Amino acid sequence: MTRPIIGVIGNAYRVENRFAVQMVGEANLRAIAEVANALPLMFAGVPDITDIDALLNVVDGIVLTGARANVHPARFGLEPDVRHEPYDNARDAVALALCEACVARAVPIFGICRGLQEMNVAFGGSLHPEIREIPGRINHRMPRLDSGEIHPDPAVVFADRHEVHLTPNGAFATLLGRKTIAVNSLHGQGIDTPGARVVIEGVAEDGTIEAIRIKDAAGFALGVQWHAEHDPQLNPINRALFQAFGEAVLTHKQGR
């Protein structure tokens, strides 16, 4: 049997500040190929060249990856602010529609970082543009040097930064067999108000929502705020998530 196909959303990027491209981090592709045991297939996060219905007729699951750009605040009733740029309106249009379509068609969907945020907005929730500005919250952004530059060592950048307390007997606690996990943290934006169908499954020590599922979804529909694509070949938490996603995708493929 051929391996299932998992669609991976692309992000807007410019080469030499001139050439528009769509980009996906290789860690996402390797996590899908090596841990979920599926074929990764990048698709454009551009609505006028991505037909969602045709896409879901081809792929067996969807990964909404993390990204540099924030979800545009107009999507949840706030005004944009230059401090929170860049935005990627084209990806917003594709991803939000995809969230609803995947859940409606029971196509497995896994949201990572921005992907979790998109899932929340797609079901009516809102985001806070800068979690660290909320009183009592920690800085969830990636580590930086005193100079302000991003830390050059990936081991430091993707190191576990804080704990996440999982909902007892919830989907994540059951899947991972734990009450508490340690995760990396590389985000500024985060969930403010959960969407109507968004069930909170994991919360950081400071109250930041870190894991969600979509209520009454017939297929796999989970999102995490941390970067689960980082080292799932060795990290037991991230490996378990991608393996479970891969199993759900295979089941969906077999039932088509």
Q: Catalytic amino acids?
A: 113, 227, 229
CB atoms within 10 A of CB 254: 10
12 close to 72: Cβ distance less than 8 angstroms: no
251 close to 218: Cβ distance less than 8 angstroms: no
Q: Which pair of structure tokens corresponds to residue 175?
A: 């899947």
Burial class (CB in 10 A: 0-12, 13-18, 19+), 210: buried
95 close to 118: Cβ distance less than 8 angstroms: yes
Q: List, as one string, the DSSP characters of 144-158.
A: B-TTSPBPS-HHHHT
Q: 162 forms bridges with which residues in the sheet?
A: 183
3-class DSSP state of 138? coil
